[in-house]
Chain A
């Protein structure tokens, strides 16, 4: 792992760290409310590093449901990571070995993935792991503090901090829509599908994680059919 790349990743990961801290604070507080110990809450965050998956997992634990239900819940909610990992693997290129890939995989969250992809062809495993490490520190320490303090920060501050992650996504997506027309169209399509899955009856019964997968697949597949990329355009 190149040190300079790792440090660059850590620096880029700072806003994610802050954003995660506030979200996981809520998770920590909620885990305690559901009857888990502080250490169990911390262990979940340190070993999972997912937001929606953990919140759903907490519900499964609290309900004392079957282990199979835990597996199914995680597969459905986290299936978008499979898509992201596939895209990430292509971006990293053939020369990156299995061990580095296994390390990268652990840190593949929505936000760290977004940061990594924003680096384009210059993405290195060291950068990714650097950004992921900072994010994981924010996520785990936020959980710890949330579990200990319940609700130290006023709700208004926590809520505003939660928007930080969305702000980051927007900052990554919008500039790309200006450079490539098909990207703009993929964004508009995803936007439409996502609204349908939120507001149309029956469709809005689909769980959030699965809905994201469906929206992504539909939008990306349509654009791939309409605007196939040329070899030189595709970042390896």
Chain B
């Protein structure tokens, strides 16, 4: 039974991803739709990151610090991995300090 659940889960997830990619092959001509898709990636990533990042850590303040460090370094045009590792390290150190206090 569990395997049926897993199969249904995998097929559903795949179809959600595959259908829009294979059905709409031709460039979309509609200007509104084109513009809409232009703004989807950054809007989507933003909605996923905030405020979720504040709840990803034990204390909200460390998540907020990790966010601040990541934004600052990105404004400074540091590479993906530098930003990611720095915000990780910030959270780890912040959580450690909070536990000491």
Contact of B75 among A40, A178, A225 (CB under 8 A): A178
A177 on the B face (CB < 8 A): yes
Task: Establish whether residues A163 and B87, one from each chain, have CB atoms under 8 Å apart when the complex forms.
Answer: yes
Contact of B24 among A15, A86, A105, A163 (CB under 8 A): A86
Q: A216: which B residues are within 8 A, CB to CB? A: 40, 43-44, 47
Task: Establish whether residues A101 and B77, one from each chain, have CB atoms under 8 Å apart when the complex forms.
Answer: no
Task: Establish whether residues B88 and A89, one from each chain, have CB atoms under 8 Å apart when the complex forms.
Answer: no
What is the distance, in angstroms, from A161's C-beta to the closest C-beta of chain B? 6
What is the distance, in angstroms, from A51's C-beta to the closest C-beta of chain B? 10
Contact of A173 among B16, B45, B91 (CB under 8 A): B45
What is the distance, in angstroms, from B54's C-beta to the closest C-beta of chain A? 9
List residues 54-97 of chain A with CB under 8 A from any CB of chain B.
54, 57, 60-61, 67, 70-71, 74-75, 78-90, 93-94
Bound complex: CA A86 to CA B77 (Å): 28
- Per DSSP, are chain A's interface residues mostly helix, strand or loop, or mixed? helix
- Number of A residues with CB within 8 Å of any CB on chain B: 103
Counting contact residues on chain B (CB < 8 A from A), the size range is 35 or more
What is the distance, in angstroms, from A74's C-beta to the closest C-beta of chain B? 4
Q: A173: which B residues are within 8 A, CB to CB? A: 42, 45-46, 49, 74
Interface 9-residue window, one of A2-10, A41-49, A133-141, A142-150: A41-49
Given contacts A164-B87, A219-B43, contact A67 B17 (CB under 8 A): no
Contact of B44 among A12, A83, A160 (CB under 8 A): A83
Given contacts A80-B44, A159-B95, A219-B39, contact A167 B88 (CB under 8 A): yes
B60 on the A face (CB < 8 A): no
Bound complex: CA A98 to CA B101 (Å): 57
9 nearest A-B pairs in the assembled complex, by CB-CB distance: A174-B74, A167-B87, A224-B35, A171-B83, A160-B92, A167-B84, A47-B10, A215-B47, A105-B18
A→B interface (CB under 8 Å): 12, 14-15, 19, 36, 40, 43-44, 47-50, 53-54, 57, 60-61, 67, 70-71, 74-75, 78-90, 93-94, 98, 101-102, 104-106, 108, 110, 113-115, 117-118, 155-157, 159-178, 182-183, 186-187, 189-191, 193-195, 198-199, 208, 211-212, 215-216, 219-221, 223-225, 227-229, 233-236
Identify 19 new A-B residue pairs, CB closer than 8 A, beyond the known A49-B13, A110-B44, A190-B46: A36-B2, A71-B12, A84-B17, A86-B20, A88-B21, A160-B88, A162-B56, A165-B84, A168-B83, A168-B84, A170-B74, A171-B78, A172-B80, A174-B70, A193-B47, A212-B48, A220-B38, A225-B32, A234-B38
B→A interface (CB under 8 Å): 2-6, 8-10, 12-14, 16-22, 24-28, 31-53, 56-58, 63, 66-67, 70-71, 73-75, 77-81, 83-89, 91-92, 95-96
**Can you list 7 A-B pairs with a CB-CB distance of less than 8 A?**
A160-B57, A163-B56, A163-B63, A171-B70, A173-B49, A187-B46, A195-B50
